[in-house]
């Protein structure tokens, strides 16, 4: 996508926020829901989602389809992934490949979420350099090699939290227990389990 298209997308986001509009479920602008009524974190989550969707749609329209065997480095975000499970945890990917939650975030909690193809994202720990992946039994782990097991479908839920479903293993979702441990197959009931809901935090 060229520079002019990027500028148009950025102008669209700025205009939408300034006018107090918000996207409805069908993608139309809804003037009855003002982003100003939300918290800064919620607004940032919503803007990030709309920006990524706009970039993906523009690329698809311009190239007639899009796929890539490698992560798209331009679509990355440094952020924390917070879940309200238990006392509240930040996801972290340790250098030994283990994945768990920690209440007070550490350097291993900072991740970047990047779009690999429409509807699918990858997650990489900035400190460990490992990609977040999920095995067939639902266990999340860090890997130095990016494979199909590292693809997740990110969905913004009605409560403005995001869920991450495994693309390779349908029905399995990234989830933490109330003790901050990775849950095996525990994210299958995503609507009922707080540990499967994550809120991106762009600031400390």
Whose CA is closest to 166, among 151, 177, 181, 156?
151
Phi, then psi, of 155 in degrees rounded to 5: -125, 125
Determine the Cα–Cα distance for residues 143 and 194; give it in Å rounded to an integer. Answer: 25
Domain ranges of the chain: 3-63, 78-201
Q: Which comes out higher in pLDDT, residue 40 or 124?
A: 124
Question: Tens digits of per-residue pLDDT, 156-192?
Answer: 888 889 999 999 999 899 999 999 998 766 455 455 6
CA distance 14 to 145: 37
Strands 78-83 and 199-201: antiparallel
Q: Report residue 117's pLDDT band, with 50, 70 and 90 as the boundaries.
A: confident
Report the C-alpha gap between 25 and 2 in whole angstroms: 28
Query: What region, left, alpha or beta, does residue 185 occupy, with left being phi > 0 and alpha being psi -120 to 50 degrees?
Result: left
Tokens of 179: 């003790």
Any idea which of 49-63, 102-116, 174-188 has the lowest mean pLDDT?
Answer: 49-63
Confidence of residue 93 (pLDDT cuts 50, 70, 90): very high
Give the pLDDT band (50/70/90) at residue 43: low
pLDDT at position 46, please? 56
Distance CA 141, CA 129 (A): 12
Over residues 149-155, the mean pLDDT reads 94
Determine the distance from the C-alpha atom of residue 34 to the mean position of all C-alpha atoms in its chain, rounded to a whole number: 23
Domain 78-201 has CATH 3.30.1180.20: no
Q: What is the distance between the alpha carbons of residues 90 and 105, in angstroms, rounded to a whole number?
A: 6
- Between residues 29 and 167, the one the model is more confident about: 167
């Amino acid at each position: 996508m060229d520079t002019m298209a990027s500028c148009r997308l950025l102008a669209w986001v700025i205009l939408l926020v300034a006018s107090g509009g918000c996207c409805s479920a069908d993608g139309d602008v809804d003037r009855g829901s003002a982003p100003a009524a939300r918290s800064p974190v919620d607004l940032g989550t919503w803007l990030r989602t709309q920006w990524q969707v706009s970039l993906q749609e523009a690329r698809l329209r311009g190239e007639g389809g899009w796929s890539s065997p490698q992560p798209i480095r331009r679509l990355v975000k440094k952020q924390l992934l917070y879940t309200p499970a238990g006392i509240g945890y930040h996801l972290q990917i340790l250098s030994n490949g283990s994945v768990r939650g920690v209440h007070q975030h550490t350097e291993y909690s900072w991740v970047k979420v990047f779009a690999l193809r429409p509807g699918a994202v990858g997650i990489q720990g900035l400190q460990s350099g490992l990609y977040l992946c999920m095995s067939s039994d639902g266990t999340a782990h860090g890997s130095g090699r990016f494979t199909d097991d590292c693809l997740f479908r990110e969905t913004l839920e009605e409560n403005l939290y995001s869920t991450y479903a495994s693309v390779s293993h349908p029905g399995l979702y990234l989830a933490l227990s109330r003790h901050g441990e990775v849950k095996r197959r525990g994210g299958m009931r995503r609507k009922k389990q707080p540990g499967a809901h994550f809120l991106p935090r762009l600031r400390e």
